[in-house]
């Protein structure tokens, strides 16, 4: 006889709640999963903060900095999202990107921290200056920024 299939109660990557057979009030679990997906799919954060905003709008998200206070205490590096049901917190994963509205740039979660992405500086200095090469590199960097690859 084969062993029964066992399921966890949450997805492995973002801990989204899963339904299980015979569960009552499945809509609660489904709604929580939809809210988490809404926060995590193409995240855009308003800013990096240490305390909750005074009048957030439903769907707005923030990154929580170290030294946070109030309901944000102990939530460092998590994404805080305001929903009709209150604050929801999401754990980032290595390699996750979020657009920082205040900075106008992407942030990358790497090594346990959110790093602000920035474009490399245009070439400068040196004893031999190749203006054509510099112009080509600057044009390439501009094209990557326009395409959204660089901030």
What does the pLDDT read at residue 4? 52
130 and 97 in a single domain? The answer is: no
What does the pLDDT read at residue 6? 54
Maximum Cα–Cα distance across the chain:
77
In a domain, 69, yes or no: yes
126 and 147 in a single domain? The answer is: yes
139 and 91 in a single domain? The answer is: no
pLDDT digits (tens, 9 = 90+) for 78-114: 999 998 889 999 999 998 999 999 988 889 999 999 9
87 and 109 in a single domain? The answer is: yes
As a whole number of angstroms, the distance between CA 59 and CA 36 comes to 11
90 and 138 in a single domain? The answer is: no
In a domain, 19, yes or no: no
Domain count, the chain: 2
List the domain range (segments joined by +) for residue 134: 119-151
Among 10-19, 67-76, 82-91, the minimum mean pLDDT is found in 10-19
103 and 149 in a single domain? The answer is: no
In a domain, 6, yes or no: no
Q: What is the DSSP string of 70-130?
A: GGGTT-TT-EEEEETTEEEEE---TT-EEEETTTTEEEEEETTEEEE--PPPPP---SS--
First to last CA, the chain: 57
In a domain, 11, yes or no: no
39 and 105 in a single domain? The answer is: yes
25 vs 13 pLDDT, higher one = 25
135 and 78 in a single domain? The answer is: no
69 and 101 in a single domain? The answer is: yes
Quick one: pLDDT band at residue 73, thresholds 50, 70, 90? very high
In a domain, 38, yes or no: yes
41 and 106 in a single domain? The answer is: yes
What are the C-alpha distances in Å from 59 to residues 32, 33, 72, 84, 117?
14, 15, 17, 9, 24
């Amino acid at each position: 006889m084969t062993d029964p299939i066992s399921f966890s109660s949450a997805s492995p990557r973002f801990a989204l709640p899963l339904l299980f057979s015979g569960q009552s009030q499945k809509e609660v679990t489904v709604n929580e999963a939809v809210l988490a997906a809404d926060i995590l799919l193409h995240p855009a954060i308003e800013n990096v903060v240490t305390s909750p905003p005074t009048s957030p709008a439903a769907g707005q998200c923030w990154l929580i900095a170290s030294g946070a206070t109030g309901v944000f205490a102990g939530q460092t590096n998590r994404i805080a999202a305001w929903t009709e049901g209150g604050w929801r917190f999401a754990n980032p994963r290595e390699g996750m990107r979020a657009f920082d509205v205040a900075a106008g740039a992407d942030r990358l979660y790497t090594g346990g921290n959110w790093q602000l992405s920035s474009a490399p500086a245009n070439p400068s200095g040196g004893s031999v200056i190749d203006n054509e090469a510099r112009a080509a590199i600057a044009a390439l960097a501009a094209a990557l920024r326009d395409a959204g690859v660089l901030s």
